[in-house]
Amino acid sequence: MTDELLVIARYVALPGEEATVRSLLVELAAASRREEGNISYEVTQDIMEPERFVIVEVYTDDAAFAAHRESEHFQHVGFGQIIPRLASRVVQKISGAARV
């Protein structure tokens, strides 16, 4: 068992942006899963409220998450394309998470 960083992000897309946000999250997830310090990156979309997304990410440590946020794909797709299409965004970091 190792200490890891768990990140849970909750996104609410602006009206009419749900499909675009979903598509961009699929692209971002694929690139993020290839990062050296990424252990997992899962995206879910609420069936009843399709504007709501939950992203669950696990990194080897805080430095790996910091590298993710500085990556070209996160800067371009995340900050550049997804975030402007959101009504709200909440990101929670849980340090020292252990997968069991």
pLDDT for position 85: 98
pTM, 2 dp:
0.91
pLDDT for position 96: 74
| Of 41, 20, 31, the residue nearest 83 (C-alpha) | 20
pLDDT for position 64: 95
Four-CA torsion 13, 16, 21, 23, nearest 10 degrees: 160
Domains parsed from the chain with CATH numbers: 4-95 (3.30.70.100)
Here the tokens at position 50 are 């399709």
pLDDT for position 100: 62
Here the tokens at position 14 are 């602006």
User: Which residues, other chains included, contact 96 with Cβ-Cβ below 8 Å and sequence gap of 6+?
Assistant: 3, 4
Mean pLDDT, contiguous 10-residue spans, the chain (100 residues): 85 98 98 96 98 97 94 95 98 78
State the alpha helices, DSSP H only, in the chain.
18-33, 62-70, 72-73
pLDDT for position 63: 93
pLDDT for position 95: 83
Here the tokens at position 19 are 């499909």
